[in-house]
Amino acid sequence: MVYNLKDKLVVAVSSRALFDLETENKIFEDKGLDEYYSYQLKNENSPISKGTGFRLIENLLKINRHFSEKEKQVEVIILSKNNAVISLRITNAINEYKLDIARSGWTSGRDLSSYLQAFKVDLFLSANDADVTKAIKNGVAAAKILPTGKDVHSSLGDQVRIAFDGDAVLFSEESELIYKEHGLEAFIEHEQQNRDKALEKGPFAKLLLTISAIQEKFKDKESPIRTALVTARSAPTHERVIKTLNVWGVRVDEAFFLGGSEKYEVLKAFGADIFFDDQDVHLELSSPVVPSAKVIHKSLEAHQKTLAP
């Protein structure tokens, strides 16, 4: 029987995003591939600690408890540049943590992004900048998992809590580029002039729509997913955001328009299992308190370089 991935929320995660493999990665960087393979094989049965993406993946998989095997909503796939020979250590860790992950791909160093469409991936989490950038170019929501402290690996409960930044994440980078190039006043004027025009979809818009479709299945009871928009926008520029979500026919459970104030305390109070943002200034403060991931935009980075002295 063919297993259809089309109507599911499909998350592909690299082994280094799911587990703490920083020691192993340093061996690879400092001593090369042969030493890395040797270390992994020698430690095939050694335990692996949870990585930044573990909390999100664990709680996403719990959504399937509400559905039959045929109707389960979430599929998680391991996609790794490792060789299949050393995959057993990762498999052992998956079994140890009782994660329902059956599918994987091991490419022996080959680019992962070309396989994302084949697996119908909605979200790709990796610890590698280049892999994330290529995935976004291929139209897949992708983010670079950031290192974080061990104390953030325990979630507040079984409900998945996902927090998104707005511009350049849920929405296109158009308005953010205006702010960066022309300043706050020009940004406010532009948003007021276009308040009735829906923002273009950003790299994570499709993911939000997919999550919303799952939430619709829980109309009469508490959803196992809760979402939050946490943005530096404030009145009056928040109007365009609200109208855009209405046009898309999608809701977020909580929305915070912070007007440039710090996001990390709100994210901690929300209990985010993951926070997606494109700006280091916010992620540097959020990653010590909640699992965080960077959405990489080449257009924004190129623009930033042109502004550099």
Question: Which of the four pLDDT bands, split at 50, 70 and 90, describes residue 99?
Answer: very high
- Report, as an integer, the average pLDDT of 278-294: 95
- Report, as an integer, the average pLDDT of 235-243: 94
Question: Which of the four pLDDT bands, split at 50, 70 and 90, describes residue 101?
Answer: very high
Q: Is the pTM of this model over 0.75?
A: yes
Given this model, what pLDDT does residue 305 score? 46
Given this model, what pLDDT does residue 37 score? 81
- Say which range, 34-38, 148-152, 174-178, has the weakest mean pLDDT: 148-152
- Report, as an integer, the average pLDDT of 81-100: 90
CA atoms within 13 A on the CB side of 135: 33
pLDDT in tens, 4-13: 777 899 999 9
Given this model, what pLDDT does residue 243 score? 96
- Report, as an integer, the average pLDDT of 263-285: 95
Given this model, what pLDDT does residue 301 score? 53
Three-state SS across the chain? CCCCCCCCEEEEECHHHHECCHHHHHHHHHHCHHHHHHHHHHCCCCCCCECCCHHHHHHHHHHHHHCCCCCCCEEEEEEECCCHHHHHHHHHHHHHCCCCCCEEEECCCCCCHHHCCCCCCCEEEECCHHHHHHHHHCCCEEEEECCCCHHHCCCCCCCEEEEECCECCCECCHHHHHHHHHCHHHHHHHHHHCCCCCCCECCCHHHHHHHHHHHHHHCCCCCCEEEEEEECCCCCCHHHHHHHHHHHCCCCCEEEECCCCCCHHHHHHHCCCEEEECCHHHHHHHCCCCCEEECCCHHHHHHHHHHCC
The β-bridge partners of 277 are 294
% of the chain surpassing 70 pLDDT: 94
CA angle 53, 58, 63 (to 5 degrees): 130
Residues assigned a catalytic role: 165
CA angle 215, 264, 274 (to 5 degrees): 40
More confident residue, 40 or 102: 102
- The answer on pLDDT for 287 being more than 70 is yes
End-to-end CA distance of the chain: 60
Question: Which of the four pLDDT bands, split at 50, 70 and 90, describes residue 28?
Answer: confident
- Report, as an integer, the average pLDDT of 107-115: 87
Given this model, what pLDDT does residue 21 score? 85
The CA distance from 205 to 141, in Å, is 8
- Report, as an integer, the average pLDDT of 82-93: 87
% of the chain surpassing 90 pLDDT: 63
Given this model, what pLDDT does residue 2 score? 60
Given this model, what pLDDT does residue 35 score? 86
- The answer on pLDDT for 1 being more than 70 is no
pLDDT in tens, 170-199: 999 998 899 888 888 999 999 999 999 999
- Report, as an integer, the average pLDDT of 247-270: 94
Given this model, what pLDDT does residue 194 score? 94
Question: Which of the four pLDDT bands, split at 50, 70 and 90, describes residue 157?
Answer: confident
